[in-house]
Chain A
């Protein structure tokens, strides 16, 4: 059998036969059960659209204030930029950069890479140059893109200061909440090996 007809399971290395999988069914590794193929009709279009939505939401979430604090006649708003700069003085400065990376820059980079890789596929075009490298980076960045974790942090912070002062929700709070949903939808829509297979067949043709 030619090696093109085999898939080495990424989790356990067992060779599985690469059969054509009907849309909306799932092929799993015979030994460990890792999903090897989960083709869905229009998945590429959906992932590209969701990524685009996520980018817009991320821009809104980064620009507007997410919480507003009022106490003793004083008020103070905080945006993501403020949260990033919160650590900017003294020995905490590296943490400032890390926060910026985790909440804004890495998620944005990941969604850009996803759009770059998948939009040409959604349109039925040939993959863009270096699409494989872009998609590899999108997958590597996935655990480090933490925009959706930030919203839980905002919720916890909201409870913590509620005793201290009155807190109002800013527009960015809702942008982050929507981003949480879009991120979950995107991650559920992506089947890594199916994307790779599509990339492989499209670049060959």
Chain B
């Protein structure tokens, strides 16, 4: 506290003995279990809560493997059936010259999920020590992950739409594959992992480190 090299020192609700509400921002008296304003359960920022983040993340990662291995779509045209995996579907779009759409699906199904796994893992690891990316950078990362993660669901909807639409008896029919289910589960689990992460922990590491130096 007395360190003059810290020009800006912020007082958190937890440090002031109060319980801040993550939903409505009310500063509740310390030890309160539910927020007096909105009724949300109150919990202090606790690194132990990272276990939940890791659990959801691991589950999401496990579900992402079959999503890439098994077929996403089974297309039957004039009695001949072919199967398309996630990557295969993107390659097909690309070979047909639909570069823009191929890029959208590539981002939604490959880039965003993989980047999300890495980003959440990085956020969870960096809580313990002062990371290369500053607190502000990590907050931006967290907000991007929260915002963008749900858009990965696009490919699941595409499968549902194609299955519903392409039912022309013998001429053409499309059926969903196992990958659609595991991909949906993977996206849901990683969304839960991101939601389990308490952004207040980003700043906790910072203040603890500053205390160590003081």
B154 touches A153 (CB 8 A): yes
B184 touches A10 (CB 8 A): no
A161 touches B27 (CB 8 A): no
B168 touches A84 (CB 8 A): no
Q: CA of A82 to CA of B169 in the docked complex: distance in angstroms?
A: 16
Q: Is B122 an interface residue (CB 8 A)?
A: no
Which residues of the partner chain B approach A160 to less than 8 Å between Cβ atoms? 89, 93, 101, 158, 162
Cβ-closest chain B residue relative to A142: B150
B20 touches A86 (CB 8 A): no
Q: Is B29 an interface residue (CB 8 A)?
A: yes
Q: CA of A41 to CA of B155 in the docked complex: distance in angstroms?
A: 40
Which residues of the partner chain A approach B45 to less than 8 Å between Cβ atoms? 13
**A11-B139, A136-B40, A156-B154 are contacts. A84–B27 as well, Cβ < 8 Å?**
no
User: Which residues of chain A from 44 to 91 have a CB within 8 Å of any chain B CB?
Assistant: 66-67, 69, 71-72, 74, 76, 78-79, 82-87, 91
Q: CA of A18 to CA of B39 in the docked complex: distance in angstroms?
A: 20
**A8-B26, A31-B10 are contacts. A99–B165 as well, Cβ < 8 Å?**
no
Cβ-closest chain B residue relative to A150: B157
Q: CA of A11 to CA of B20 in the docked complex: distance in angstroms?
A: 10
**A15-B12, A83-B161 are contacts. A71–B171 as well, Cβ < 8 Å?**
yes
B184 touches A98 (CB 8 A): yes
Which residues of the partner chain A approach B166 to less than 8 Å between Cβ atoms? 69, 76, 161, 164-165
B199 touches A86 (CB 8 A): no
User: Which residues of chain B from 10 to 48 have a CB within 8 Å of any chain A CB?
Assistant: 10-14, 16, 18, 20-29, 37-40, 45
Q: By CB atoms of chain B within 10 A, which of A13, A91, A143, A152 has the most?
A: A13
Interface residues on A, range: 35 or more
Cβ-closest chain A residue relative to B165: A78
Cβ-closest chain A residue relative to B20: A8
Which residues of the partner chain A approach B105 to less than 8 Å between Cβ atoms? 156
B158 touches A193 (CB 8 A): no
Chain B, residues 124-167, CB within 8 Å of chain A (1/0): the string is 00000000000110010000001001110111111111111111
Q: CA of A15 to CA of B151 in the docked complex: distance in angstroms?
A: 33
User: Which residues of chain A from 1 to 26 have a CB within 8 Å of any chain B CB?
Assistant: 3, 6-15
Count B-side interface residues using an 8 Å CB cutoff.
Answer: 69
Which residues of the partner chain B approach A185 to less than 8 Å between Cβ atoms? none
B21 touches A86 (CB 8 A): no
Q: Is A149 an interface residue (CB 8 A)?
A: yes
Q: Is A132 an interface residue (CB 8 A)?
A: yes
**A10-B21, A13-B13, A32-B136 are contacts. A153–B161 as well, Cβ < 8 Å?**
yes
Q: Is A154 an interface residue (CB 8 A)?
A: yes
**A92-B180, A132-B38 are contacts. A149–B153 as well, Cβ < 8 Å?**
yes
Q: Is B55 an interface residue (CB 8 A)?
A: no
Which residues of the partner chain A approach B168 to less than 8 Å between Cβ atoms? 69, 71-72, 74, 76, 165
**A193-B24, A196-B38 are contacts. A14–B164 as well, Cβ < 8 Å?**
no
Query: Which 4 A-B pairs have CB atoms at the shortest separation, nearest pair first?
Result: A8-B20, A153-B157, A86-B163, A82-B164
Q: List 16 A-B contacts (CB under 8 A).
A: A3-B29, A8-B26, A10-B20, A12-B10, A14-B11, A15-B11, A15-B18, A31-B203, A67-B165, A69-B165, A71-B172, A78-B161, A153-B156, A155-B101, A193-B25, A200-B37
Known: A8-B12, A13-B200. 6 other contacts (CB 8 A): A7-B27, A13-B45, A67-B165, A83-B160, A196-B26, A200-B26
| A residues whose Cβ falls under 8 Å from a Cβ of B | 3, 6-15, 30-33, 36, 66-67, 69, 71-72, 74, 76, 78-79, 82-87, 91-92, 94-95, 98-99, 102-103, 132-133, 135-136, 139, 143-144, 146, 149-150, 152-157, 159-161, 163-165, 192-193, 196, 199-200
